[in-house]
Amino acid sequence: MNILLKTEKISKTFPGSNVIANSGIDFELKENEIHSIAGENGSGKSTLMHILSGLLPQDSGTIRYRGEAVTFHSPHDALKKGIGMVHQQPGIVPGFSILDNIIIGKEGKCFQKIDRKKAINEIESINRQFGIEIDISRNPISPESRQLTILISLIYRKAEVIIFDEPTASLSDAESQDFFGIMKKLKDNGKTIIFITHKIETALSAADRISVLSKGKIKGTFDTDKTDIDSIADLIIGSSSGSVHGIRSGKRNSVGDIKVFEARDIVPGKSSNDKKGFNFAVREGEILSFTGIREKNLDIMEDLLSGFIQVQSGSFFYMGKEIKISSTRTLRKSGIKYIPSDRMGRGTSLTGTVENNLAFTDIDSFSENGFIRKERIRDFFNSGRDSFDIKAIFGQPLWQLSGGNIQKVILFREMHKAKKLLIFCEPSWNLDFQSREMIYKTILELRNRGTSIIMISTDIEEIIDLSDRAAVMHEGKIAGFLEGNEINSYNIGRLILGMAASR
C-alpha cells in the first residue's frame, strides 16, 4: 500500500504548562488501512490526532499528505484535503436533528438553500453503503448517535481519512461490535481509518497496524498479525500485562446493618405507563452495581439518581431520611458524591483551571469566614497530583490536559471526599489499564472503610470483579439481583436478555 499521510518530526508543547505532548514524532499512514494508536493517558495520542485533523497547530515538523507538505489552520482546512475526526465528545448542535447536524454548513455561497430532498437521498445512500442504521429525523442524544452523526457528516463531505478518538469508550459491547462492523465497511469502500484506543485487545483484533506512543514519542509501529498483547503492553507500561482486570474484590460475607441509601417504588417521570417502580437499598460498606444495556436501562438509572430526570412517584432515603433529588446540586448538598458517565459534559468546566474544577463542587470546605483559601485548594491539588498521578500544574486550564488526566481530576475530586455514599458511573471508561487498576483499588479501599458505592457499569468483568451485589436491568426494570458467586457472566447475560438467572 502507498503512504497516504506522513509526519516528520512533529512536536507540540502547550504554552504556560511546559507539557511536551509530542516530541519529534515520525508517523506513517498507509492508504486504505485501519491503523490503531495505543498508549497510556497523557502519552500524546489525542494531541497528534488533533494536529493531523487541524484542531491544533504543531510547533515544529511537517505533515505530508499524498506526498505534498500541507499546513492546517483549522479542521475545515484538513477536511478540504480529505481528513476528518470524530471526537470522543462529538460537537453537535443541540436541538437540531441528525439530518440538520449533517448538512449544516453546506449552504454554499451567500447561504444558498440546500436541496433537502437531495441531501436526504444522499445520506440514506451513505447509510446503506456503510451499514449505518439511524433515524436521521431524530435528535442525536446517545453517545453512539452523536458519533454516527459526525461520521456521516464527514463521509457526506467526502473525507478520505477518518480519525476516531476512543470510539468505543462510551459504547456498550453490542454498540462496539456494530461500530467495528461499520469501520470494516469504511475500509472496504476505500476509506483510511485511524483510531485511538486504550484497549490492546481491541487494537489487535480490529486494526491492520498499531503504533504505540509513550511520553510523546512513537515507541514502534507493528503489523497486528505479527505482534501480541504482551509485546504491546510491554512497550506501553514497561511490563507485560495481558489483562486490565487484575483486581479481585474478595467479596465480603456480610456488610453493615445500616441502609445508607434506599429507593422505594421509584417510577421515572418518563415512564408514565409503567407504575411498577424500582426498589433497592445499599448498605454501609457495600458495592451495589447496576448493569445491562445502557440505553433505556442504565441511562435511566443514572439520570434518576443524579436528578436529571424527576420521579413520578416513590421516595429516596439517605441515612434514614427522605430526600428529594431534583438536580445534581441537591444530590451533592446532601453529601452524596457523584461521578457521571459523561465526565466532560456533566463533570467539568473545560475552560476553568484544574484547581477550579477540583474545588467548585465543594467550595465550602476550601473557605473560611466567607473567603476562599487558595492554599487549601493548592494542597488538595498537590494531593491529587501525587496520589492519582495527574499530569498537570497549578493554574493550568483543564482543556490542555489529556482526556485521561481530565478524568483523573474528576475521579480524585469525588472519591477523595466520599464519606457515606459514592455514585460511580462507568469507572473504567477512557482510562488506560494502569489507571483502571488504581481506580479499582481506590473503590475497594473506600468500601473497606465503610463507604457505600452504587456502581453503574456496562463492563461485565468490572461488575464481576468489584460487586458485593449486582442488579441487572432489562427493558427499563431491575430483572434481578445477584450476590457472591452468582455474579458471573452467565447469570448476568441471562438477566440482560430477560431470562431467569441460574442459582
Residue 90 or residue 1, greater confidence? 90
Closest to 340 in 3D by CA, of 403, 404, 269, 423: 423
AA letter at 127? N
The whole-number pLDDT of residue 310 equals: 85
Q: Say yes or no to pLDDT of 474 above 50.
A: yes
CA 213 to centroid of chain Cα atoms: 20
- Residue 240: pLDDT band with limits 50, 70, 90: very low
- H helix runs in 337-459, sequence order: 343-347, 354-359, 374-387, 403-416, 433-448
User: Own/partner pairs for 228-235, CB < 8 Å, 24+ apart?
Assistant: 228/204, 229/200, 229/201, 229/204, 232/38, 232/200, 232/203, 232/204, 233/200, 233/433
Q: Which phi and psi angles does 251 have, rounded to 5°?
A: -50, 135
Instruction: Give the cell for residue 490.
Output: 452467565
Q: Say yes or no to pLDDT of 250 above 60.
A: no
Instruction: Give the cell for residue 45.
Output: 495520542
- Residue 87: pLDDT band with limits 50, 70, 90: confident
Mean pLDDT of 348-375: 83
256-297 pLDDT, tens digit each:
678 999 999 988 875 545 557 889 999 999 999 999 877 667
Judge contact between 323 and 317, C-beta under 8 A: yes
Residue 294 or residue 210, greater confidence? 210
Bridge partners (DSSP) of residue 212 are: 38, 220
The whole-number pLDDT of residue 254 equals: 58
CA 299 to centroid of chain Cα atoms: 14
Using DSSP's 3-state secondary structure scheme, residue 45 falls into helix
The whole-number pLDDT of residue 311 equals: 87
Residue recorded with cell 434506599: 262
The whole-number pLDDT of residue 112 equals: 61
Q: At what angle do helices 173-188 and 143-156 cross, to 10 degrees?
A: 10
Residue 20 or residue 62, greater confidence? 62
Q: How many CA atoms lie within 13 A of 2 on its CB side?
A: 6
The whole-number pLDDT of residue 18 equals: 63
pLDDT-above-70 percentage for the chain: 90
Q: Say yes or no to pLDDT of 298 above 90.
A: no
418-465 pLDDT, tens digit each:
889 999 999 887 777 778 888 899 999 999 989 999 999 988 888 999
Q: Say yes or no to pLDDT of 164 above 50.
A: yes
314-336 pLDDT, tens digit each:
999 999 999 998 888 888 888 89
Bridge partners (DSSP) of residue 423 are: 338, 454
Mean pLDDT of 180-186: 91
Q: What is the 3-state secondary structure (H, E, C) of 450-494?
A: CCEEEEECCCHHHHHHHCCEEEEEECCEEEEEEEHHHCCHHHHHH
Strands 217-223 and 209-214: antiparallel
Bridge partners (DSSP) of residue 34 are: 193
Q: Say yes or no to pLDDT of 160 above 90.
A: yes
Q: Say yes or no to pLDDT of 30 above 70.
A: yes
Q: Say yes or no to pLDDT of 376 above 50.
A: yes
Instruction: Give the cell for residue 281.
Output: 437499598
pLDDT-above-90 percentage for the chain: 41
Domains of the chain: 3-237 (3.40.50.300), 256-336+420-503 (3.40.50.300), 348-417 (no CATH)
Residue 243 or residue 258, greater confidence? 258
391-430 pLDDT, tens digit each:
888 888 888 887 788 888 888 888 888 889 999 999 887 7
Mean pLDDT of 177-197: 91
Q: If you average pLDDT over every residue of the chain, what do you get?
A: 85
The whole-number pLDDT of residue 253 equals: 46
Bridge partners (DSSP) of residue 455 are: 289, 424
Closest to 34 in 3D by CA, of 172, 235, 224: 224
Query: Full-prediction pTM beyond 0.75?
Result: no
- Residue 499: pLDDT band with limits 50, 70, 90: confident
Sheet containing 19-30: order of strands: 19-30, 3-14, 60-65, 68-70
Distances (CA, A) of 312 to 242, 270, 274, 308, 454: 46, 8, 10, 13, 22
Instruction: Give the cell for residue 438.
Output: 488504581
477-488 pLDDT, tens digit each:
898 999 988 998
